[in-house]
Amino acid sequence: MADCTSMHYEKVAEIGGGAYGTVYKARDTESGKFVALKHVRVQTDQDGLPVSTVREVALLKRLDQFNHPNVVRFMDVCAIQRSDQETKVTLVFEHVDQDLKTYLERAPPSGLSSDTIKDLMRQLLSGLAFLHSNRVMHRDLKPENILVTSQGQVKLADFGLARIYSCHMALTPVVVTLWYRPPEVLLQTSYATPVDIWSTGCIFAEMFRRKPLFCGKSEMDQLGKIFEVIGLPPTEEWPTDVSVPREHFPSLTARPITDFVPEINEQGAQLLLQMLTFDPLKRISALAALEHLYFQDEETLTQIAEI
């Protein structure tokens, strides 16, 4: 990990501040290109940086060698030890001017076209399938972490950072949104790559609605809002290693997803429900989602219907 004195970036503007650090738009003084600088404060152990941080950074570097079109480029990293307890790590990524949240806010009053939503979803799932095939969970997918270039290219950002952040010091009591968290995380049971598929389902619905699907105020409230849509899962699907009993929630039956996302077509509704499946083992994978009928063109669907 390089010393920051060798870095050649000039800060232009602060573009975001989170619980763990600040993000700046900066100019590479050698190439003239814009980059995003993410400063993260990391607790230092007696051997310097925690092994987990070094491992995560090595993983980011390895993934970047593939140069996947739907994953943000990771360009540089350096570390400055501030004290025995703290090191400031600076991560350098390519800069993209807008995220999906901004993109949706700027959409015309009529909303995004069905073809645009399909294209964005295909790209999002393509980036996710790539991460998952390399055994990387994003763990914090939300519209703010999905970048959209001026040409409409989707790039996943902040993947791999969730684990760096999770074991390090929070600077401010920023409330991390619950709205894209799957039931297994809300219930604090074990989880794996299906967590990202649930979040993707929430984002898929939001592309049509232009507002979040589940807006809970606490973990329990969030689960309650989820069950109002998908119904209370059967007893056999309720995880056994959680402290919250199933009986804590009212017995609700699933409502048609089109009640909440009326503009979605039949294939899209099927795919959305396969993403918003309570049992993570039954949730569709990113790779399987890309093969879904929703992404087949109309001509292919007509041919299938005629067979």
Active site residue 84: no
Residues 200 and 222 sit within 8 Å (Cβ to Cβ): no
Residues 258 and 232 sit within 8 Å (Cβ to Cβ): no
Say how far apart CA 67 and CA 259 lie, in whole Å.
40
Catalytic, out of 76, 99, 140, 196: 140
Residues 2 and 76 sit within 8 Å (Cβ to Cβ): yes
Q: Residues 171, 136, 143, 255: is their CA dihedral positive or negative?
A: negative
Place of tokens 């899962």: 233
Lookup: tokens for 261: 């996302």
Say how far apart CA 278 and CA 151 lie, in whole Å.
35
Lookup: tokens for 126: 């393509």
> Catalytic site residues?
140
